[in-house]
């Protein structure tokens, strides 16, 4: 735990330095990105799903050849392509991790440098949400690619946005849901509309979602129906998590709604004249909606909301920038405690996966 909080303290220190200077510190941000990249590929037997991903890599006996392993063949073609590409150069799984890490952190740096007003602070937030992607899985790779697509939403370039989303979908199927962000990004919702949307979402999420999803699962929609049935079986497995679906829903919902409330209180007037900020808040709100609708059905389905939750790394810096000095000080104190608690929760939830951090050395 000390290892992870030491990184947190360094990120926090340089975040305060960046905020106090009111200038982007891209060189420092790049060094942190490089540090996380190194940590991501020198790790060994550390992180969730380590054994599963390692076995996939080892199941490829001959690069680009036929693989009769049924477990491996169920994964997306983009992910299998990366495994074959890495195996072309080496039998070492570390090379595979390096290849994936280069994709993740290249996309992350480009996105943060272009879209964040405080890049180091954004990286701090990202670190407390996902341990900066050090222990990445397929969805982490897809998520970093989707973050890169924000540049094309910002520039209203649908073709490149569409292509980026499709690439992410080749790594993790659920990334296809990000296509709905394009038409929603530049919509402006009034506070009353947002309140009604949240209330309607809660009503549907608590009373009608399982009914609707059962209908979809029985419509013989091929792989879609098959996937839905898998997610339903996962959601009904009591051993899948130590918490009930209601507990998970309420904990996650309170966290998300609390942040959305702060955004709208402090940034409501700002977002009217800042289309990009308004769009970011729309996406984060969409994440809340998906979380409420899908989590009661299945914890696995509910994870698609992470593609939208991660937008917090761009919104929270606006809170600091556009708050007055007394409010800014209080926000920095609050966010320090909040982010520290979130980091502790992540690590303590899976101590056997993260502690100790083991390397190839």
What is the residue extent of each domain of the chain? Answer: 1-136+328-361, 186-322
Residues of the chain with pLDDT under 70: 206-249, 298
Q: Residue 326's pLDDT is what?
A: 86
Q: Residue 320's pLDDT is what?
A: 92
Is residue 292 within 8 Å of residue 260, measured between CB atoms? no
Q: Residue 257's pLDDT is what?
A: 82
Q: What is the overall mean pLDDT for the chain? A: 86
Q: Residue 259's pLDDT is what?
A: 84
What is the dihedral sign for C-alpha 246, 251, 256, 258?
Answer: positive
Q: Residue 237's pLDDT is what?
A: 44
Q: Residue 48's pLDDT is what?
A: 85
Q: Residue 238's pLDDT is what?
A: 42
């Amino acid at each position: 735990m000390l290892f992870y909080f030491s990184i947190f303290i360094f990120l926090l220190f340089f975040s305060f330095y960046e905020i106090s200077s009111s200038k982007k510190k891209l060189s420092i941000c790049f060094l942190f990105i490089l540090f996380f990249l190194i940590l991501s590929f020198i790790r060994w037997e550390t992180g969730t799903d380590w054994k599963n991903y390692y076995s996939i890599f080892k199941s490829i006996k001959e690069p680009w050849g036929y693989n009769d392993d049924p477990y491996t063949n169920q994964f997306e073609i983009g992910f299998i392509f990366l495994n074959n590409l890495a195996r072309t150069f080496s039998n070492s799984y570390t090379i595979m991790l390096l290849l994936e890490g280069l994709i993740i952190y290249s996309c992350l740096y480009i996105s943060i440098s272009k879209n964040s007003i405080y890049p180091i602070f954004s990286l701090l937030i990202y670190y407390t949400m996902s341990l900066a992607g050090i222990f990445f899985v397929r969805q982490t790779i897809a998520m970093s690619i989707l973050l890169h697509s924000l540049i094309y939403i910002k520039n209203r370039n649908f073709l490149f946005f569409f292509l980026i989303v499709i690439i992410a979908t080749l790594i993790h199927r659920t990334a296809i849901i990000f296509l709905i962000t394009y038409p929603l990004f530049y919509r402006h919702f009034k506070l009353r509309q947002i309140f009604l949307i949240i209330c309607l979402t809660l009503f549907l999420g608590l009373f009608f979602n399982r009914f609707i999803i059962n209908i979809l699962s029985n419509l013989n929609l091929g792989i879609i129906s098959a996937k839905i049935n898998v997610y339903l079986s996962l959601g009904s497995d009591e051993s899948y998590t130590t918490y009930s679906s209601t507990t998970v829903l309420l904990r996650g919902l309170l966290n998300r709604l609390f942040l959305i409330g702060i955004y709208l209180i402090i940034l409501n007037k700002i977002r009217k004249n800042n289309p990009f900020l308004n769009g970011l808040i729309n996406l984060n709100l969409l994440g809340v909606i998906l979380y409420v609708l899908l989590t009661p059905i299945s914890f696995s389905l509910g994870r698609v909301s992470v593609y939208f939750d991660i937008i917090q790394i761009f919104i929270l810096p606006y809170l600091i920038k556009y708050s007055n000095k007394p409010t800014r000080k209080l926000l920095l104190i609050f966010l320090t405690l909040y982010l520290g608690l979130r980091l502790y929760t992540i690590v303590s939830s899976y101590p056997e996966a993260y502690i100790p951090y083991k390397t190839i050395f």
